[in-house]
Amino acid sequence: MKNILVLCTGNSCRSQIAEGYLRHFAGNKARIYSAGIETHGVNPKAIQVMAEDGIDISKHTSNNVDEYMDVTFDYVITVCDNAKENCPYFPTNAQRFHYNFPDPAKAIGSVDEVMDEFIRVRDMIKDYSRDFINKHLD
């Protein structure tokens, strides 16, 4: 079974969404972890937009990458430039992947405009996650 780490700045939005979708698409083919360089708590809007797509991330926790230093990862996916630049060295042969998704937590505008941005980013991460699993685990 493969171990996959999704890494972001605060482990609150993008990495949480990716963890949810990667788990969904991988099934029992991989163990999925997410973490941040910092921990900001799971964003309630991320929980909401995932629930709207049938995925429950309400029990996820915001974890610091240091908590997983003893896990041997096969893949490390950074989902923002800050995490890529500050990702700690893992003493493994983990393959690294990077995609700089926009941060929906920084969206401005009306409540509907902010939620539209969360949905847009969620859908981008969903497509990326599906493609990742199809390419690397199937």
* Residues tagged active-site: 8, 80, 87
Where does 7-110 have alpha helices with state H?
A: 14-26, 44-52, 81-86
Nearest residue to 46 (alpha-carbon basis) of 60, 26, 36, 65: 60
Alpha helices in 2-96 (DSSP H): 14-26, 44-52, 81-86
Return the bridge partners of 63, or none: none
